[in-house]
Amino acid sequence: MLGNALGHPVLDKTNLTGSYDFSLDYAIDLPGAPPAEHVSEQASEPMPTLVDAVQKELGLRLVPSKAQLDVIVIDKIDKVPTQN
């Protein structure tokens, strides 16, 4: 889910197992908007970015790196299915 919010894949290298229930409060990154404009409705201080919220609230770091990923490429789709 972090990959969707960040706009690129996120690999889980935590070795944590199980399910966890948590919520994160963070500012949605708006292109061109300075961080000072992301203000919490309850407070007058700027909200953290997603990366900062993950580190502060969950104690996990998001570290940029390169990795090989499997990719599926669809080069043609027919509207009407053809008979096999």
Of 20, 5, 1, 10, residue with least CA distance to 65: 10
Strongest mean pLDDT among 2-6, 36-40, 41-45, 61-65: 61-65
Q: What band does 43 get if pLDDT is binned at 50, 70 and 90?
A: low
The answer on pLDDT for 60 being more than 70 is: yes
The answer on pLDDT for 78 being more than 70 is: yes
Domain ranges, ordered by start, for the chain: 1-84
Between these two residues, 12 and 80, which has the higher pLDDT value?
Answer: 12
Q: Are 24 and 2 contacting, i.e. CB atoms less than 8 angstroms apart?
A: no
Predicted local distance difference test score (pLDDT) of residue 80: 81
